[in-house]
Amino acid sequence: MSNVGTKKVVALMASMLAASSSLLSIPALAAGPAVSKTTTSTRTVTSRTVVQKLPTWSRAIKTPYRSWIPLNRPSEVLLCVHGLGFSSASYAQFGRVMAGHGFAVYALDVRGFGQWMHKKGEQEVDFEACLNDVEDALKVLRKQYPGVPIIMVGESMGGAIALAANSRHPDLVDGLISSVPSSDRYAKTSSEIIVGAHYLRDENKPMDMSTEVVDRITDDPNLRAKMEAEPLNRMKITPKELKQFDTFMKGNHDAAKLIEKTPVLMLAGFKDKLVKPEGTIELFNDLSTNDKLLLIVGDGEHLLLEENQLQNQLALLLRDWLHTEGQSHKPAR
């Protein structure tokens, strides 16, 4: 494992957390009420009737998104980006929990996933277009929530997108939570050989990535079945798109070096079978900012934030970090 030196690190390693129950030993604080709003290209659903002025996102931006809004003015605003194969729906539990703690939570669909799959001409992965979507979203949120810190949140591919967006637009981001953003995957060489062979045969013929992705994400058969059955998830991806994904992920280290002042919290799961924790540690070391914290969750698999995997103690740690960093980096109105 890479040497983190004197840099600021919190490591909840397996030796410190003998069982999952130890992660749940801290009592949960009472979460306040929240209103959940889902806006996509086809429908809008509100879980509770509340007089609440929401950002006019759908008018200004065409990006499909979901939001979970607290009843009172939020302390911080979180903009979330999902991982490869998923959609904004993967943040449903995270959004509800964090909105209950007073955060306004927004999650957008990355180009090629979620509701983009149903938009003619927009079904392919496009990272540059996605980064433009993120920039537009950050500008809208900054305007709609003056004086409220805007924090980017991303997991896996989403963590890499959040890094890239922050490196390009540091003035629009007041904090960053990047979970397992590394491209250092297990069995990476064999995966690249398989993708390369498919690319030579037909770069536009989708490959089923269920075994490659889902089976490594979790050992829980119920979670695997849920992810494979979710209609907004997309596990059939073309070799051309996977090549683009690989190229984009390799730019992580350059992006990390460009982040000079933004507070960053990086997360990794010690039991992750898809991405090596060492890769996240190397990215952490590449961050130029001194205001950074690394958290390795002892019993965590690949997903720590999405697909109902947010554990109680981690949610409380995120809440405290967000309040501390958000208030100390509060933007001007």
pLDDT digits (tens, 9 = 90+) for 30-84: 344 555 554 433 233 333 323 333 444 555 567 889 999 999 999 999 999 999 9
Share of the chain above pLDDT 70, in %: 77
The owner of tokens 């980096």 is: 329
Rounded distance between C-alpha atoms, residue 83 and residue 306, angstroms: 8
In this prediction, residue 155 carries a pLDDT of 98
Superfamily of domain 9-16+31-42+58-184+252-328: Alpha/Beta hydrolase fold, catalytic domain (3.40.50.1820)
Dist CA 83 CA 133 (whole Å): 16
Buried/exposed code over 99-121 (b: 16+ C-beta within 10 A; e: otherwise):
bbbbbbbbbbbbbbbbbbbeeee
Q: How many CB atoms neighbour CB 253 within 10 A?
A: 16
Find the helix or strand (DSSP H, E) in which 12 lies. strand 9-12
pLDDT score, position 3? 47
**Listed residue (274, 322, 324, 271) closest to 296, CA to CA:** 271
222 by Cβ neighbours in 10 Å (0-12 / 13-18 / 19+) ranks as: exposed
Residue 90 and residue 207 in contact, taking contact as beta carbons nearer than 8 Å: no
pTM attached to this predicted model: 0.82
Residue with tokens 């190397």: 282
- Provide CB contacts within 8 A for 13, sequence distance 6+: 270, 296, 298
- The distance of Cα 307 from the centroid of its chain, to the nearest Å, equals 11
One-letter identity of residue 145 = Y
